Amino acid sequence: LSLKGLAGLIGAVEKILFNAKIVIIDLERLLIRAMARHKEFDKEEVLTKAMETGAMVMKELLSGA
């Protein structure tokens, strides 16, 4: 495997991981919406969960994981 091939493979894996994070973000949004529909969850709790999730995903994206 050449360096160019290895770089291409790493790029492909990075793209897959990035797309997986997008899917996770979408799933979290669905979960937050579902939680917001139930009476036992207040809006502040849902907002806090959304911010924690966003911060976690941004940290992962910035760390290059």
pLDDT reading at 13 higher than 70: yes
Upper half-sphere CA count for residue 39 (Cβ side, 13 Å):
0
pLDDT reading at 40 higher than 70: no
Find the mean pLDDT for residues 23-31: 83
CB of 22 closer than 8 Å to CB of 29: no
pLDDT at 64: 67
- For residue 14, give Cα distances in angstroms to 1, 28, 45: 18, 21, 33
Residue 32: name the closest of 16, 43, 20 by CA: 43
pLDDT band at residue 29 using 50, 70 and 90 as cut-offs: confident
Which residue spans within the chain are E strands per DSSP?
A: none
Tokens coding 65? 């994981």
